[in-house]
Amino acid sequence: MNRWMSGLAAAMLTGLAPAAADDVDFCMSLSFAPLDMNIPACSRLIEEGGLPDAQMAALYASRAEAYRFARTYSLGHEVDDVELLTLALADFDAAAALDPAYRGSRGELRYMLGQYDEAVEDFTFMIELEPQSAHYHRLNRSYAYEHLGAFDAALEDVSAALEEADGPIDEARLYARRGEIHEAAADLDAAAQDYREVLERRPDHQTVREALERIERGEPAE
């Protein structure tokens, strides 16, 4: 259970009628039938309303996550990925209006929907809101920048994240990401150097090893 749903459960379960308590339980814990269980439960609680902003925001965010989950676990329903992501984005819009901390999740949805400029705005906001997690938001922002062709900005984000890396495994992940950006920008020498940094920390990283060997052979990326 994530941080906002645990707070929701503690605040809402006490004293509720059994049916409402069941809705809270289904809404806050993803099942493998989100379209039949989680989403209807969240919707009933949202429609009933009357809760503090933080709890309403959590309900919208939980339903958004259920919409995302339903792309994989539809259980007999015919689903459209873009439609589900659009519904999830609408819920994260509502959640972020009540609690700006959900702008990070909204940025991820915007990225998935190809709204890269808007995703950059959300991740930039989160870097300022949660400086303790800036490296995570910078990494997310780097993907949006790359899709916008802003390679220098993407590289700057990953390089800044590297300064806050949490040990060799995290460093390897970030060097691999920076290598991808260098390769996308056609700076193959810099990409190769970053891939070598990865292999110094994770010699078993087969994907990076293959990318480095491909660059050394002068073959284009697939």
Count of domains in the chain? Answer: 1
Task: Tell me the pLDDT band of 13, cut-offs 50, 70 and 90.
Answer: very low
Q: Is 211 helix (H, G, I), strand (E, B) or coil?
A: helix
222 domain-assigned: no
113 domain-assigned: no
78 domain-assigned: yes
Nearest to 181 by CA among 217, 147, 209, 216: 147
Q: What is the Cα–Cα distance from 222 to 219, expressed in whole angstroms? A: 9
Q: Pick the residue with more confidence: 218 or 108?
A: 108
Q: Domain residues for 73? A: 1-100
pLDDT at 18: 52
Q: Write the DSSP assignment of 153-196 as a string of letters.
A: HHHHHHHHHHTT--HHHHHHHHHHHHHHHHHHTT-HHHHHHHHH
- Does pLDDT of 19 surpass 70? no
Q: pLDDT exceeding 90 applies to what percent of the chain? A: 82
The pLDDT tens digits of the residues spanning 144-195 come to: 999 999 999 999 999 999 999 999 999 999 999 999 999 999 999 999 999 9
Residue 135, token pair as written in the block: 């490296």
123 domain-assigned: no
Under a CB-based contact definition with an 8 Å cutoff, are residues 128 and 137 in contact?
no
pLDDT at 135: 95
- Does pLDDT of 2 surpass 80? no
91 domain-assigned: yes
The pLDDT tens digits of the residues spanning 38-93 come to: 999 999 999 999 899 999 999 999 999 999 999 999 988 999 999 999 999 999 99
- Does pLDDT of 110 surpass 90? yes
172 domain-assigned: no
CA distances from 97 to 78, 93, 100, 192 (A): 31, 6, 6, 43
Task: Tell me the pLDDT band of 220, cut-offs 50, 70 and 90.
Answer: confident
